[in-house]
Structure 1
Amino acid sequence: GLGSNRKLNILSINTSTKQYSLAVMKDEILLGEYILPSGPSHFSNLMPSIDDLLIKVGLEPQKLDGLIVALGPGSFTGIRIGLSVVKGLSQCLNIPIIGVPTLVAMASQLPYLNEDICPLVTSRKGEVFTALFRWGANGQLSRLIEDTCLKINDLSSITGNKAIFIGNDFNNQGPILKQQFGEKKILAPANLWNLKASSLGILGLKKLKKGHSDSLSELVPIYLREVDIRLPKEVS
């Protein structure tokens, strides 16, 4: 097990939102972080980017103590890529993986606010994966609404009078939210949008410190609607 006194070197990976992000941390301290465009051509860049980041921060892969990965909801293809990368690294380096839900980690990027926090991740056209969170007096983030998939125009059905939005596509979601809510709702600053791998790292580190490790059966994408994959029908 991992001693809770020793500082842990962790690599965290987010491939669930519009931008990919990689972070290397020593406990809570961020050593280096990349934010990369997502897309089919960028899958091939993921491993070289990980190698490059580790070189830049001066850490050999063998010195990593754990891996943190975003489980979604979000880009199904992206999440599967992230999971396959961390599973490969975990087997190769014999280190644990912690999976973190995307919307929880996004909400955690807006710490200690009094308002409800509403994270959004693009689903199919016009729809978003979303949930609602609130910070408690104890500094813990609590969930008000389970992850759900909604038309972006129906967000008012879950957000009360006050909510702060943090999405994954400011160019497209920002104007829609401003048009829908006017001054009633607040958008987090655009540079805080998307999901930083370091935010995953902070959340996953707590579990690693307790000696937790997710099993392969727990490391599956969180998705909230039927995936558009035509499976061959069984012929009886």
Structure 2
Amino acid sequence: MYILGIESATPVAAVAVAGENGILAERMVFNNRTHSVNLLPMIKAVLEESGVGRRGLAGIAVSGGPGSFTGLRIGMSTAKALAQVLGLPVAGISTLDTLAYPLAGWRGLVCPVLNARKNEVYTAVYDHIRKITLAGPMAIQPDQLAEILLELAKPVVFAGDGVPPYASVFRERLGELASFAPLAANFPRGAAVAELGLSAFKNGLGVDPLALRPQYIRPSEAEVVWLKKNSGRINS
């Protein structure tokens, strides 16, 4: 079984092909071009480099959010279109799960943080040893997240593009309990999406492309503006 993984929920675009024996090919870019420009050439490249090709795929896994509203729409649209053409199932993979997955060997808590703007982060708290999620997914202010982690009172490692702007908050509030993953772990990888997707498909969690939905957690700016303009009309 070979799975194509597509990650587009953050400023990084990443794709990979995974099989039973591991990751066969992976590409990642962080540049000024939009994901709509980057993704298709990258997908074509990893399918060729892996030797799998489009017809060798059993499914497509794609980042399901939370993250950039535009990035998620581009990634999901790409995954859906390709899956429909090839007659394949798809699986949405949590962006937070994708960030936390490479840190599964950490003995303490794992806390992925994505910059959600407006002084908030998208986050969840994982205990990989017990294989449970202790909190989230949620959009929350960094100091409120620190309070939750203080109550849990365990060492925690942070990873994600929310680390640079808010690392000082976590250091100040958590002290020696806080650790930070290397820069290489601050963006979700296509390889993690593909590997998590492989597990999802093995467990029968693939769905029809038309059934795939993103996990936004909070409404987009456009939805907030619309609701403000139409709140009177809705309540009348």
TM-score by length of 1: 0.85
Cα deviation, 1:116-168, whole Å, max 9, x if unaligned, reads: 1111111023210011110235xxx3111121111123321221332111112
Q: Aligned equivalents of 2:160 and 2:21: distance in 1?
A: 24
Give secondary structure in 1 for the equivalent of 2:221: coil
**Paired residues, what number?**
226
Structure 2 residue matching 1:51: 3-state secondary structure? helix
Structure 1: runs of 5+ lacking an equivalent:
1-7
Find the counterpart in structure 2 of residue 12 from structure 1: 5
Which of 157, 165, 169 is equivalent to 1:172? 165
Q: CA deviation at 1:106?
A: 1.5
Q: Of 89, 93, 105, which aligns to 2:98?
A: 105
Q: Which amino acid aligns with 1:72?
A: G
Q: Which sits farther off after the overlay, 48-57 or 120-129? A: 48-57
- Does structure 1 retain, via aligned residues, the 8 Å contact 2:26–2:191? yes
Higher helix share: 2
Deviations 1:180-228 (A, max 9, x none): 5443311112212211111122222122123432244652111122211
Q: CA deviation at 1:83?
A: 0.5
Cross-structure match for 1:33: 26
Identity, in percent, stands at: 29
CA distance in 1, matches of 2:200, 2:32: 30
Residue aligning to 1:226 = 219
Residues 203 and 184 (structure 1), Cα distance of their counterparts in 2 relative to 1, 3 Å cut: same
Q: What are the superposed Cα offsets for residues 2-54 of structure 1, whole Å, 9 maximum, x if unpaired?
A: xxxxxx11110111123121111122511111111266633222111211222
For residues 206 and 41 of structure 1, the distance between their equivalents in structure 2, rounded to whole angstroms, comes to 29
Q: Does 1:186 align with 2:179?
A: yes
Aligned-partner Cα distance in 2 for 1:90–1:169: 32
The structure-2 alpha-carbon separation of the partners of 1:150 and 1:83, relative to structure 1 and needing over 3 Å to count, comes to same
Q: Is the 8 A contact 1:15 1:38 kept in 2?
A: no
Among candidates 50, 53, 62, match of residue 60 of structure 1: 53
Determine if contact 2:146/2:170 at 8 Å carries over to the other structure.
Answer: no
Moved more, 190-199 or 223-232: 223-232
Q: CA RMSD in A?
A: 2.4
Letter in 2 for 1:124: R
| 1:46-104 per-position Cα deviation (integer Å, ceiling 9, x unaligned) | 11121122222233212211100111111111111111000001000011111111112
Contact 1:18 1:37 (8 Å CA) reproduced:
yes
> Structure 1 residues 197-206 or 82-91, which shifts more?
197-206
Match of 2:135 in 1: 145
> TM-score, normalising length from structure 2?
0.85
1:42 corresponds in structure 2 to 35
CA distance in 1 between partners of 2:75 and 2:31 (Å): 11
**Mapping 1:193-232, distance limit 5 Å:** 193-216=186-209, 218-229=211-222, 230-231=225-226
Contact 1:22 1:35 (C-alpha < 8 Å) held by counterparts: yes
Range moving further from structure 2, 176-185 or 60-69: 176-185
Distance change (3 Å), C-alpha of 1:31 and 1:173 = farther
Q: Matched residue of 1:136: which SS?
A: coil
For structure 2, the 5+ residue unaligned runs are none
Deviation at 1:170, TM superposition (A): 4.8
